[in-house]
């Protein structure tokens, strides 16, 4: 736990965190008692075994303090191992128990302070619960006056929509700030300045709202219930003159009313083949933001639509078969759209926005379109005449184009395009182009036959040449205030040459070069 606004003199002021339960503290925490002060509220008591009649242990977290000065607060903090997402729940609930200094038992013996304001329906003891992702910069806080025992007024029951609607209302609000202008000594004048909530410094983004049940909502910075890393709970001494000694119990902090949205997902695909001329494939998928399978608890949070159309055609089928050409053409178009259920990095639902702000949906919708095509030209059969046999029969030409256009919450427009051309020449002559320079020695005794069989290759067995050229153009414009634009153009050319030459049966020479 940590402490908030603890006085420097810790010899007089103390703060502890502990637990209390029905087994270890039966005299103070008796769930069978008819006294509403000692018995937990209905629904919080331990589960009763139907056979033995025994009730399971019930336990609460205790925050206790001694001599807490006026205006100060104590708190305990819990850190989760993983960030918690509470955006899929409707209500935040918790039971809180306040001490009763008038009871002639533990409270009276320990001089617990009286905090109810006589003759009013108010209290000098204020409980607060803070939800935050980081330390103190962005948080929601719920404050509530506390009364003795398990008073129904102590129960925390906050609809999540109240927190979200309050934050939404602040988006276009202004902050009035007082600036005192001094010249020399004394105050000469007071100037009032207004700041926009969204553009003001983080320390100025602080607002409170009083609710009908007496609780107070607090928004500081830009909190989100979809990313809760810390919980901080404590109480504050609202008295202006009296120190406070006492303890509160907290039980059953929970989120309820889990969303049960009806969601669907559908996939359709069709393929049509036109014999050996070509074919077309069409697919369409639609998925709601709340759709999920049995292995996941919640949906992806995006209403998505994706479609694709791909086709291929063999142009060589329209040419004479005797030409022996192979000319396949392939093309693909893909479209993807994702509309988030919540504003990016936020817990505000798009549907909860004011109609005048619905144009925000267009700026946070992710769109991606891809279109590409390629064509290849090659020979599938060898010619009988030597000239085409060693030239165009070994040649492959490729031309391709790819284009992408997209937008997102941070990028207003982004386009990428590229054109690629490639030429490949692969000649395979084999290892038959050899001579026997020592054939005249075949008559030599003993070794002549072997020596005369020695061969030398006078031509390479393989010759490969590849050349690739790529031209790319990229453009991007961000959604920031300045609309920063970046643009780049690039042209590249790569050439590879490889020659294999079997000089001797046991010696292969290889030459490669990249340019």
Burial class (CB in 10 A: 0-12, 13-18, 19+), 113: buried
Contacts of 320 by beta carbon, 8 Å cutoff, 6+ apart: none
Cα–Cα distances in Å, from 225 out to 36, 139, 209, 274, 331?
A: 33, 9, 18, 54, 45
| Predicted local confidence at residue 23, as pLDDT | 81
515 vs 495: CA distance, rounded Å = 5
How far, in Å, CA of 232 to CA of 155, rounded? Answer: 17
The phi and psi torsions of 381 (rounded to 5 degrees) equal -130, 150
Show the tokens assigned to 348: 């505000």
How much is the pLDDT for 106?
A: 66
- Residue entry with tokens 């009286």: 114
Neighbours of 117 (CB within 10 A): 13
pLDDT of residue 467: 94
CB count within 10 Å of CB 514 equals 9
List 65's β-bridge partners, or say none: 15, 246
Predicted TM-score (pTM) of the model is 0.69
Cα angle 206, 212, 217 (rounded to 5 degrees) comes to: 20
Angstrom distance (rounded) from CA 40 to CA 34: 10
Among residues 445, 321, 424, the alpha carbon closest in space to that of 376 is found at: 424
The H or E element spanning position 90 is: strand 89-98
The CATH architecture annotation of domain 8-172+207-258 reads Sandwich (2.60)
Determine the pLDDT at residue 127. 96
DSSP 309-345: EEEEEEGGGGS-GGG-EE-EEEEEEEEEEEEESB-TT
pLDDT of residue 308: 97
How confident is the prediction along the chain (515 residues), in pLDDT tens digits per residue? Answer: 455 545 545 567 888 899 888 788 777 776 555 555 556 676 566 777 788 877 778 888 999 998 899 989 999 999 888 899 898 899 999 999 988 777 656 666 677 888 888 777 789 999 999 999 876 789 999 999 999 888 889 999 999 989 988 888 887 676 655 555 555 555 555 556 666 777 777 878 889 999 988 899 999 988 989 889 999 999 999 998 899 999 999 988 999 998 888 888 999 999 999 988 999 999 999 998 888 877 787 877 888 999 999 999 999 999 988 888 999 999 999 999 998 887 776 777 777 666 655 555 567 788 999 999 999 999 988 888 888 888 888 999 999 999 999 998 888 899 999 999 999 999 888 888 888 887 777 777 777 778 877 888 888 888 999 999 999 999 999 887 677 889 999 999 999 999 998 888 888 889 999 98
Measured distance CA(231)–CA(131) in Å, rounded: 5
Per-domain boundaries in the chain: 8-172+207-258, 261-386, 410-514
């Amino acid at each position: 736990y940590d402490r908030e606004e603890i006085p420097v003199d810790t010899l007089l002021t103390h703060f502890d965190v502990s637990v209390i339960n029905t087994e270890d503290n039966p005299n103070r925490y008796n769930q069978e008692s008819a006294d509403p002060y000692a018995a937990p509220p209905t629904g919080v008591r331990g589960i009763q075994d139907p056979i033995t009649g025994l009730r399971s242990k019930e336990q609460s977290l205790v925050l206790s303090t001694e001599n807490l000065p006026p205006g100060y607060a104590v708190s305990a903090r819990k850190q989760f191992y993983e960030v918690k997402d509470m955006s899929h729940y409707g209500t935040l609930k918790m039971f809180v128990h306040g001490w009763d200094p008038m009871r002639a038992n533990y409270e009276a013996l320990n001089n617990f302070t009286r905090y109810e304001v006589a003759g009013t329906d108010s209290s000098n003891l204020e409980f607060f619960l803070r939800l935050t992702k980081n330390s103190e910069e962005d948080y929601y806080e719920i404050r509530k006056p506390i009364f003795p025992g398990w008073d129904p007024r102590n129960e925390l029951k906050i609809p999540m929509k109240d927190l979200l609607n309050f934050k939404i209302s602040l988006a276009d609000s202004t902050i009035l700030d007082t600036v005192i202008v001094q010249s020399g000594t004394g105050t000469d004048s007071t100037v009032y300045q207004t700041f926009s909530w969204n553009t003001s410094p983080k320390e100025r983004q602080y607002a409170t709202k009083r609710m009908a049940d007496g609780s107070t909502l607090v928004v500081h910075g830009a909190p989100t219930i979809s990313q809760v890393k810390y919980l901080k709970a404590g109480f504050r001494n609202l008295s202006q003159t009296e120190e406070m000694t006492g303890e509160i119990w907290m039980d059953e902090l929970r989120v309820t009313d889990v969303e049960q949205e009806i969601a669907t997902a559908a996939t359709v695909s069709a393929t049509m083949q036109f014999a050996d001329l070509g074919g077309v494939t069409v697919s369409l998928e639609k998925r709601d933001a709340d759709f999920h399978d049995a292995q996941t608890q919640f949906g992806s949070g995006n209403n998505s639509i994706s479609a694709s159309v791909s086709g291929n055609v063999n142009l060589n089928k329209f040419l004479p078969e005797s030409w022996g050409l192979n000319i396949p053409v392939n093309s693909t178009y893909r479209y993807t759209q994702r509309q988030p259920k919540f504003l990016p990095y936020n817990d505000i639902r798009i549907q909860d926005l004011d109609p005048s702000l619905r144009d925000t949906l267009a700026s946070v919708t992710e769109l991606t379109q891809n279109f590409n095509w390629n064509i290849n030209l090659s020979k599938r059969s060898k010619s009988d005449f030597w000239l085409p046999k060693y030239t165009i029969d070994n040649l492959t030409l490729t031309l391709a184009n790819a284009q992408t256009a997209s937008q997102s919450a941070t990028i207003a427009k982004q386009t990428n395009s590229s054109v690629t051309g490639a030429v490949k020449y692969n000649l395979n002559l084999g290892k038959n182009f050899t001579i026997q320079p020592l054939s005249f020695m075949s008559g030599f005794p003993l070794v002549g036959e072997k020596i005369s069989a020695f061969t030398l290759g006078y031509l390479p067995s393989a010759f490969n040449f590849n050349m690739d050229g790529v031209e790319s153009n990229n453009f991007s414009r961000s959604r920031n205030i300045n609309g920063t634009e970046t643009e780049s153009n690039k042209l590249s050319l790569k050439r590879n040459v490889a020659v294999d030459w079997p000089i001797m049966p046991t010696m292969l020479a290889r030459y490669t070069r990249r340019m």
